[in-house]
Structure 1
């Protein structure tokens, strides 16, 4: 697949492996106390931290310096250019990747915190803005379209979590800590 040549796959797989190991170990103390809910809550929070760390590794450490020092502040410009490019699979992989990489942050943000769904989406967008600013400051490309796609991914994750909670009958719609 073309998109994989732009990603340091061993580094990302290593980060994911560390996250899985730490997650498994994090729940052990609560399980020893017989607190399955506490173990699950701890594991979800560790997975959330791991998802954020993996995104940071993928965006700030791994990858190439393509478009070094460039920036785009006009929404839709890069998306339109990629969709019109001759390498459609690379373009779709890049666009879908920018969405999919933030889905776990939205999903786990709802499940692992007491934040409202809108707050989780805003936090995902804020994380994306911070990443793009960091990339620009370090001489890499920064693009408002990446922020839009990342935020969309966070919103998709939030929607999946809220739908799952509604199906389970435990969705939170009121103030933090209240069921509703």
Structure 2
């Protein structure tokens, strides 16, 4: 009996020595080994970015919600591109301020409910992007309320927003009860 117990202990110790501990080791890059059916236009080599960039974008949106358009555009570079549904602008920040002021001026209230956001850094491009997912609800001056779901991709360079790419999903109208 003692021999079986001793043999079992030796087997357990021997098996434990053969296992390798991968905790704390860097992950291997599996993307180099994969054969994708499509080639990306942009890089897929990214890492977690500095969350200070997300704070710049979130403060911009908070000030927009509060109606402070000058404050909302403080984080924009002097020359900026802003793309949205049926809207594209590239030019000086001052011109964009006028456009956004007019659009926000048509609204009485605005709110944003965030699902999440993510900051990514692309070392081969030296680009930092912040992606946001949220629902925006508003009431216009005529009393009409509406909402849209947004996915925004925001490119920052040297701590300033140089590209704001806004994509929307319309919410379906409620089904009428019969």
Q: State TM-score, norm by structure 1.
A: 0.25
Higher strand fraction (1 or 2): 2
**Greater relative CO, 1 or 2 (CA 8 Å, sep 6+):** 1
Structure whose CA Rg is larger? 2
Q: State TM-score, norm by structure 2.
A: 0.25
